Amino acid sequence: MEFLTLVIITICMYLLMFKPEREKLAFGMFGAATFILVGMWFVTTFGSIFGNGNY
């Protein structure tokens, strides 16, 4: 997943540098990459927030 976010952010940088007219697409992709990173953080810290046990 980290590599996926790295690829998405690289594509965003490419769009912003060479095709500035596609700024909205780059911003959307950046938001998606941020959402993935926050999701990964939540999954990895889920045990420390709620503790282990039966839900």
Q: Summarize pLDDT for 10-30 with one digit per residue, the tens.
A: 999 999 999 999 999 999 999
Give the angle subtended at the CA of 21 by the CAs of 27 and 28, to the nearest 5°.
Answer: 15
Q: What is the CA radius of gyration of the chain?
A: 16
Distance CA 54, CA 52 (A): 7
Q: pTM for this structure?
A: 0.72
Confidence of residue 43 (pLDDT cuts 50, 70, 90): confident
The per-residue pLDDT for 55 is 56
Residues 45-54 pLDDT 10s: 877 666 665 5
